[in-house]
Amino acid sequence: MSILNELPSVMGVLQEKANLSQRSWIGVGGPAEILFIPKDMDDLLTFLRNLPAGHHITILGAMSNVLVRSGGISGIVIILEDWFKKIFVEDNVLETGAAVRCAELSTTAMDHELGGFEFLVGIPGTIGGAIKMNAGCYGYDLSNIFMECEAVTVSGQIKWLKNSDIKFGYRDSTVPDDLIITRAWFRGIPNVDYSIPKKTNEFLLKRKANQPINKRSCGSAFKNPDTKKAWELIDAAGCRGMRIGGAMISDKHCNFIINEDHATAEDIENLGEKVIQKVLDSSGIHLEWEIIRLGNK
217, 220, 260, 269: the active-site residue: 220
| Whether 106 is catalytic | no
Long-range contacts of 6-11 (CB under 8 A, 24+ apart): 6/52, 7/34, 7/47, 7/51, 7/52, 7/55, 7/76, 8/46, 8/47, 8/50, 8/51, 10/36, 10/38, 10/39, 10/43, 10/46, 10/47, 11/38, 11/39, 11/40, 11/43
Between vectors from CA 217 to CA 212 and to CA 218, what angle results, nearest 5°? 120
| Whether 16 is catalytic | no
Between vectors from CA 33 to CA 30 and to CA 38, what angle results, nearest 5°? 110
| Whether 220 is catalytic | yes
- Beta pairing partners, 190: 114
Buried b or exposed e, range 90-115, using 16+ CB within 10 angstroms = eebebebbbbbbbbbbbbbbbebebb
Instruction: Answer for the pair 275, 237: CB distance below 8 angstroms, yes or no.
Output: yes
d(CA 170, CA 164): 16
Closest CA to 270 of 247, 236, 288, 238: 247
Closest CA to 145 of 182, 119, 175, 177: 119
74, 81, 148, 171: the active-site residue: 171
d(CA 18, CA 32): 5
33, 260, 269, 290: the active-site residue: 290
Catalytic residues: 171, 220, 290
